[in-house]
Amino acid sequence: MKRGWLFSPGRAVTLLAMMAAFAPLRADLAQARAEPNLDKRAMLALDNAAQALTQAREAYGKGDNKAVAALAGEVRESVELAEASLRETGRNPRKQPKWFKRAENSTRELLRRLNGFQEAMDLADRPMLEAVKAKVQQVHDDLLREVLEGK
């Protein structure tokens, strides 16, 4: 076997490009926690929740219920981090609704996707998502109420 063919610089660049292209596009929750800007932290956390839900759906398709449960927990943690981050800003959602409204829209979309995923699951597996759905619903309702009514 030719050594140059296996270890050529062009092949290494191509391999790295392929690895980058197929790497999961997952926003890490630790990365969100490290974000100093509270508004951006909330959005990173909600992006992570959406990607964790996508991964949970893929894991369910493969029959890996342990991974589904873990990823559902990550969805919940992400939503809780987003909620806490927005609270830490100390802003009045009625007077400065920009980030609160974005979070409300994201949680509404997350709820829609959670409902669709749960309906696609077997009846015996559906309770796995109940706690997550309840938390996302509660956060969504709180955000909507605060934007419409104020603190």
pLDDT band of 102, cuts 50, 70, 90: very high
Which has the closest alpha carbon to 79: 105, 36, 50, 49?
49
On whether residue 19 sits in a domain, the answer given is no
On whether residue 5 sits in a domain, the answer given is no
On whether residue 93 sits in a domain, the answer given is yes
Range of the domain at 79: 29-149
Number of domains comprising the chain = 1
Question: pTM score, two decimals?
Answer: 0.79
* pLDDT recorded at residue 65: 94
Q: What are the C-alpha distances in Å from 83 to residues 3, 30, 103, 136?
A: 55, 16, 8, 10
Q: Residue 21 above 80 pLDDT?
A: no
On whether residue 122 sits in a domain, the answer given is yes
Q: Residue 25 above 60 pLDDT?
A: no
- In 3-state terms, what secondary structure has residue 97? coil
On whether residue 18 sits in a domain, the answer given is no
Contact predicate 55/114, CB 8 Å: no
Q: Name the amino acid, one letter, at 1.
A: M
On whether residue 42 sits in a domain, the answer given is yes
